[in-house]
Amino acid sequence: MAGRIDFMITQNVDRLHHRAGSNPLELHGTVYSVICIDCGFSFCRELFQEEVKALNPK
């Protein structure tokens, strides 16, 4: 092998690798943010859920 890989790619969406001290590239995102697929705007999932709940009270 010619070199060392100094980053990791993960499919974990629960930030387990972050809590262990790594800084991975999250292949499928996380459960902590919502990202618009049209414009790329990122929003905290918890706040997003509150907005959706307020708009749909039943």
Active site residues: 28
- Give CA–CA dist 56/28, Å, rounded: 27
Q: How far apart are the first and last CA of the chain?
A: 58
Measured between alpha carbons, how far is 32 from 42 in angstroms, rounded to an integer? 10
